[in-house]
A and B are shown apart, each in its own frame.
Chain A
Amino acid sequence: MNIVLKDVIILHPEQKLNEKTDILLEDGIIKKIGSLSENEIKNSEVYNLEGNYVTPGFFDMHVHLREPGREDKETVITGCNSAAAGGFTGIACMPNTDPTIDTAEVVTSIIIKSKNHLVDVHPIGAVSVGRKGESLAPIAELVEAGAVGFSDDGVAVKSASLLRNAIEYAGMYNAPIIEHCEDPSMDDGAMNESFTSTQLGLPGIPTAAEDLIVMRDILIAEYTGGRVHIAHISSKNSVDLVRQAKAKGIKVTAEVTPHHFLLNDESVKTFDTNYKMNPPLRSKEDVEAMIEGLKDGTIDCIASDHAPHTIEEKEMEFIYAPNGIIGLETQLGISLSELYHKGHLTLEDLVYKLSINPRKILNLEIPKFEIGKEANFSIFNPDTIWTVDVSKFKSKSRNSPFDKKLLTGKPTGVINKKRMFIDDKFINLA
């Protein structure tokens, strides 16, 4: 099947591409980039995409798919549908599943389930058996089965010595250790510790709990020469620590979620549990530091920490409600509205943060605009104004604080693995 993406702007900063053109795909393979003959157009399904950008497919390196174990919240397939609708062609899925991703069998089962989907799924293995922080998971075997990074997800690796070993062992396969940075002796809270938590009478989690582990991890990365990736960074001090470490040449990378660069802890004043997450929403100063970190490159990428929960679990007393929100279907719109349209980042910067950098961190191939290559593209219109409607989400869950939010910039479609998702449906291209 031939399709034409007409009047698009192809944007690929690594290939130095930023130009208006047409793209011809034959069975999902890039056949031609440039102006097309009438014949080429006549024999193709033509998508008139004036105003749209086509970029290397977006990648979200922090997604909770909930399968195996909590398929009532999300499955591999519904999570992939949500990713496609959100403009992503690839995701990395985290190991806080039941059972956790600490055997090759679990890695394989997730990969098999996603095999026929447009979206690439790359599992993140557990650092330790059962994520218990005692003994190393079979990291080599997990890499062989397809794991691309390791994390004890939801908690920091329990001890400095185990972290050191994990960094060195996973380093043999150039797989990063992805850390949820939170000191377990200071994690007993329901929101950020601040004047707001004092006013609300909610137990607080200090930013120092995050900073302590970021510092520890940086020191161990420096000592071993290995790699560590800071998941969902949220505190100003942590951004400063990462900035200093990078300046020293230490191999540390960091991601931030849209909610941490957009919302602050005053949102919790409604006691709406869709503002309960871990790390918690921080202060205005911390939010500003996230934007600064994105601008100067301290923060490498944007990731959603997509965390589906059932309605009945989330509609609960604040201190009992589980942490987290879903983010796959709002991430691109929020990034465009808050970072691009507000002048903090260019579209090129966003392609780095949403596509190129996360793939580099996980050692994945970066999609290119090259004749003969299989297309792996995201298509979006940065100027489309739309209103978020959680009831229309492809995700199985609805726990988002962004319902009814007006956003500027919307995913139009994605193409990958010879499939296309556009106009709310999947199309086989070959």
Chain B
Amino acid sequence: MGLTSRHLLGMQGVPAEDIQLILDTAKTFREVLERPIKKVPTLQGKTIVNLFFENSTRTRISFELAQKRLSADTVNFSTSTSSTKKGETFKDTVRNIEAMKVDMIIVRHESAGVPTFLTKISKANIINAGDGRHEHPTQALLDMYSIRERLGKLEGLKVCIVGDIAHSRVALSNIYGLKAMGAEVSVCGPATMIPRDIQKLGIRVYHDIDRVIAEHNVLNVLRIQLERKAGTSIPSVREYHKYFGITAERIEKYNNNIVILHPGPINRGVELTSEVADGPYQVILDQVTNGVAVRMAVLYLLGTMN
């Protein structure tokens, strides 16, 4: 049994069996990562391009390590500004790379829809590493892996995503993935950070963080981008922290069984205090390790399909 699609563009529409397969495969690779020699020959001879049109050290390194541990040949194309702005169209950039005979493209871009667009102009397997505020499926998969690792299951769990939902690519992917796996999903944040009609996805919207802590098994806490619109969407970072920040006091008062995830990088003292970020409730560094294993699983399953 393999995956139902030859691309991973998002978690929307990915069936539970596929998610299960990726997570189970990741478990095998997670064991490989504990060996002294962390490399398998599975993707030998495959060429993978990491096409990053937006800054992302962590995701790119995680993908690159995953590729190297599967023995694939990898090339990085990183540019902080789109090549469009330099005169070459995105399509030409991709066609040039395609002409070098690549098997898979990992893409990160500030515009939603770019991975879909890539499937129309390239024959390679496409993996979305984050498109605008749309999706970031491997992040959702590694989050699910980490939750399952800590709590043994996903089905029936109550998971809340906390923070700037409107500007997040992690939120949507988590919502789709977790719901497919039978979890109950909600979001929490200031009303200005909740995108329009999101409850139509079959999720609850909260604005009270104490209640959220009390009523959930897992919080996936998003980064508050300090540079983004402070003063317009929220009055200040100080006020955000006061009313939405996750603190050890809150956890101890309302629910000390909660599991805290964070996709990184953390703003200590904003969405989380250091006590929480380094404390017993969090699985933040496990997420990073699991990220490599999950990406190995996705690369392996897609790379050996055709």
Contacts and interface: CB of A to CB of B under 8 A. Distances in A.
Interface string A248-280: 000000000000000000000011000000000
B197 A317 contact: no
A199 B201 CA distance: 9
Interface in A297-330: 312, 315-320
B173 to A, nearest CB: 10
Nearest to A321: B111
A316 B93 CA distance: 11
Contacts of A271: 112-113, 116-117
Main SS class of interface, A: loop
Contacts of B90: 316-317
Interface stretch (B55-63, B131-139, B262-270): B131-139
A381 to B, nearest CB: 36
Contacts of A202: 112-113, 132-134
Interface stretch (A189-197, A233-241, A332-340): A189-197
Contacts of A343: none
Interface residues of B, number: 27
6 nearest CB pairs, A to B: A201-B134, A271-B113, A195-B197, A317-B111, A201-B133, A319-B111
A195 B196 contact: yes
B200 interface: yes
Interface string B147-181: 00000000000000000000001001000000000
20 contacts: A195-B196, A195-B200, A197-B195, A198-B196, A199-B12, A201-B132, A201-B135, A201-B169, A201-B172, A202-B132, A202-B133, A202-B134, A203-B133, A271-B116, A317-B84, A317-B109, A317-B114, A318-B111, A318-B114, A319-B111
Interface in A181-214: 193-195, 197-204
Contacts of A319: 110-112, 132
Nearest to B171: A201
A200 B169 CA distance: 10
A245 to B, nearest CB: 28
Interface residues of A, number: 20
Given A199-B201, A316-B91, 14 more contacts: A194-B197, A195-B198, A197-B195, A197-B196, A198-B195, A200-B112, A201-B135, A202-B133, A271-B112, A271-B116, A316-B89, A317-B82, A318-B112, A319-B110
Interface of B: 12, 82, 84, 89-91, 109-114, 116-117, 131-135, 169, 172, 195-198, 200-201
Contacts of B117: 271, 317-318
B109 A198 contact: no
Contact of B89 (A193, A194, A312): A312
A281 B146 CA distance: 40
Residue from A197, A201, A315 with most neighbouring chain B CB atoms (10 Å): A201
A14 to B, nearest CB: 45
